[in-house]
């Protein structure tokens, strides 16, 4: 995706009025400064310590710099082992339930909000395009209630080299779309119409967050830097609504 051809995110502040109306129109909210940067950096440092212990990071660089060790991306066994360790990290799991996110979710869902147990740390290695999720809707993966919202947040400042996430504004109005295995990715996705001007992307700072509906089409972007890209996915729905059993357990449980 040519990021120069995309439009910038329409940014909001967490306390802005009309967030629900903007969500209905755009399918996403870009909330600048939603999270405390110290809390985000605590999660980053805890996750980085695990990755360093697993031999993923360059030993001669500060752990917080997230410099990749080089060579091939880690294999599936290391990925699963590392994620099971990440699931137990308090700074990572606690970040999902900070009051700032809760206030946004209550504004979208009402007072009774449930946080999914399955919290995901996205660990994206440099130049590993096969592990990038192309255009897709979260509902295909999450199942359960359509009115489920994802809060995606980078754990470091994210520029064009690190990539991050792109969103197709206005894609919320349709129904769940059929997904197919992509030839260039280990993930399933939907067809991209090729109009890069229909996509939105902006650099993100640690503390910023994207909140989007499970039917909003979005895509991960390649990491062309020398650093490991870290972000988190936390998901929320109305209490009592259907939830797929996989989201009642930790990731890779």
Residue-level pLDDT at 202: 97
pLDDT tens for each residue of 153-167: 999 999 999 999 999
- Confirm if 162 and 156 have CB atoms less than 8 A apart: yes
Q: Any idea what the Cα angle at residue 238 is, between residues 232 and 244, rounded to 5°?
A: 65
**pLDDT for the residue numbered 177:** 87
Q: What is the pLDDT of residue 143?
A: 94
pLDDT < 70 positions in the chain? 193-194
User: Number of C-alpha atoms within 13 angstroms, CB side, residue 109?
Assistant: 27
Torsion (CA) 19, 98, 207, 169 in degrees, nearest 10: -30
Q: Are strands 209-213 and 148-154 parallel, antiparallel or unpaired?
A: antiparallel
Which SS3 state, helix, strand or coil, does residue 108 take? Answer: helix
pLDDT at 75: 86
Residue 220: how many other CB atoms lie within 10 Å? 24
pLDDT at residue number 134: 86
Neighbours of 155 (CB within 10 A): 26
pLDDT value, residue 73 = 87
Q: At what angle do helices 99-109 and 19-26 cross, to 10 degrees?
A: 70
Place of tokens 């946004």: 104
Which one of 3.40.50.1110, 3.40.190.10, 2.60.120.620, 2.120.10.80 gives the CATH number of domain 3-37+95-248?
2.60.120.620
The string over 58-85, giving b where at least 16 C-beta atoms fall within 10 Å of a residue's C-beta and e elsewhere, is beeeebeebbbbeeebbeeeebeebbee
pLDDT score recorded for residue 181: 81
The pLDDT of residue 59 is: 87
Give residue 175's pLDDT. 85
């Amino acid at each position: 995706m040519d990021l120069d051809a995309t439009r910038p995110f329409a940014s909001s502040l967490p306390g802005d009025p009309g967030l629900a109306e903007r969500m209905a129109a755009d399918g996403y909210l870009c909330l600048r400064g939603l999270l405390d940067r110290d809390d985000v950096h605590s999660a980053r440092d805890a996750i980085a310590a695990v990755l360093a212990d697993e031999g993923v990071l360059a030993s001669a660089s500060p752990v917080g710099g997230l410099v990749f060790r080089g060579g091939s991306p880690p294999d599936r066994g290391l990925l699963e082992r590392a994620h099971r360790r990440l699931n137990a990290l308090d700074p990572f799991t606690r970040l999902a339930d900070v009051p700032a996110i809760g206030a946004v979710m209550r504004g979208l869902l009402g007072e009774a909000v449930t946080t999914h147990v399955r919290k995901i740390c996205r660990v994206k290695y440099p130049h590993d395009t096969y592990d990038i999720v192309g255009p897709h809707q979260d509902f295909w993966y999450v199942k359960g209630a359509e009115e489920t919202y994802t809060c995606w947040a980078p754990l470091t400042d994210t520029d064009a080299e690190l990539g991050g996430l792109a969103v197709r504004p206005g894609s919320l109005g349709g129904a769940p779309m059929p997904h197919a295995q992509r030839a260039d990715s280990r993930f399933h996705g939907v067809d991209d119409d090729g109009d890069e001007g229909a996509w939105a992307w902006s650099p993100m700072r640690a503390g910023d967050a994207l909140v989007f509906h499970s039917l909003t089409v979005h895509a991960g972007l390649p990491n062309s830097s020398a650093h490991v890209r870290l972000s988190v996915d936390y998901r929320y729905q109305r209490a009592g609504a259907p939830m797929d059993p996989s989201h009642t357990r930790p990731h890779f449980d």
